[in-house]
Chains A and B, each alone.
Chain A
């Protein structure tokens, strides 16, 4: 069973308009690589020049921000939900 990836409105045009993707991969990095392989237009939106996450992108596995877990090495189990969200202001 693949992981469920939820895309924000701003990224959907790069994924044929899809809001949800089912992607195989055991880590966040593998899943992002797979997304970029399928939708090359996503690369500059998801990754910075050094291959780490784009500064205005937050990725959550089951609602936990992976920057505070193991970043790209964060493990993703079958059926986990991976949400990609733009960084926005609060306060």
Chain B
């Protein structure tokens, strides 16, 4: 057994679990990449570490400097964990519609939290963080949506881990947020194995962003555009909260896997893919585990009320 000397050394090299019992097609296997096993609990640990290391190496982040970041939760939590160990004060700008557990974790890791109106979704947090970064040029603004270290972390670690562990992969399915996971893993996989299909799942988040004044307030992450997202993805689909919860429950029941709600959405995408192909091997990302969503009642309330409370929060 290795003894690790810092919590961030535990990031990455996550296990893969065969959950093919959930495949609707006996000729299609489904494998779950368990990113919830990262120390701060999500796939975002990888990009937080990569962005901070890169900024340090380039002299953009110096000892004691304050970090500011917009996040719907997981990136902020991961960055706060690392920042707490390296002595950086951190301010995380989050929509007030994130789950209470996400807020609590940010507090636990010592982040200062600034809330933006829930009806503006993550777009509101991006806008406020950008404005604050402009007003405070001495702060470090690593900006996950536009930082190439985000997809590069997945190109260099997540992608190679997946191909090494599942060389027969035919489809990769992941949630679309900053697009970092899909761009990085997708680029790596297609470079080595051109036939791999890349499928994105997303929540119907644009429906809940009531605070958008005009479409010009819309947002496509710079990372998605720079990494050629439109050519890289083969499919992109919405999975709604009800189906996401149903699939998250199935993962518990059939595989003993307590995955987060967005992972339920990813499984739903896998099942759709599996039903459409003759045979194949699908790998999907369990971006986090279920702990942060217990307050929604996703596993404990009846489906209608769990769906209603999930519709009110950002869970991707």
Contact = CB atoms under 8 A, between A and B. Distances in A.
B214 A88 contact: no
B9 to A, nearest CB: 24
Contact of A9 (B71, B203, B210): B210
A56 B215 contact: yes
A91 B316 contact: yes
Contact of A91 (B180, B233, B235): B180
B16 interface: no
A90 B316 contact: yes
Interface string A47-91: 000000011111010011101100000000000000101111111
Given A10-B213, A55-B220, A89 B121 contact: yes
B316 A9 contact: no
A11 B121 CA distance: 17
B128 interface: no
A85 B316 CA distance: 17
A65 B209 CA distance: 18
A45 interface: yes
B236 A85 contact: no
B205 interface: yes
A52 B216 CA distance: 16
Contacts of A58: 206
Contact of A90 (B178, B218, B233): B178
A65 B182 CA distance: 16
A56 B219 CA distance: 6
Interface in B163-190: 175-178, 180
A17 B40 CA distance: 44
A8 interface: yes
Contacts of A63: 237-240
Interface in B117-173: 121-123, 125-126, 144-145
A89 B236 contact: no
Name, among B44, B75, B233, B236, the residue most crowded by chain A CB atoms within 10 Å (CB to CB). Answer: B236
B238 A83 contact: yes
A24 to B, nearest CB: 24
Contacts of B203: 90
A9 B206 CA distance: 9
Given A8-B206, A10-B213, A83-B238, A91 B230 contact: no
B234 A68 contact: yes
B302 interface: no
B237 A64 contact: yes
B144 to A, nearest CB: 6
A10 B230 CA distance: 24
A87 B203 CA distance: 12
B284 to A, nearest CB: 17
A78 to B, nearest CB: 21
A9 to B, nearest CB: 5
A57 B216 CA distance: 10
B75 A86 contact: no
B72 A91 contact: yes
A89 B122 contact: yes
Interface of A: 8-11, 45, 54-58, 60, 63-65, 67-68, 83, 85-91
Given A11-B215, A64-B237, 20 more contacts: A10-B212, A10-B214, A54-B215, A60-B238, A65-B236, A83-B238, A86-B218, A87-B206, A88-B122, A88-B206, A89-B72, A89-B123, A89-B125, A89-B126, A89-B145, A90-B72, A90-B177, A90-B314, A91-B74, A91-B221
Interface of B: 44, 70-72, 74-75, 121-123, 125-126, 144-145, 175-178, 180, 202-207, 209-210, 212-221, 230, 233-240, 314, 316
13 contacts: A10-B214, A45-B215, A54-B215, A56-B216, A58-B206, A83-B207, A86-B217, A88-B122, A88-B219, A89-B122, A90-B205, A91-B71, A91-B221
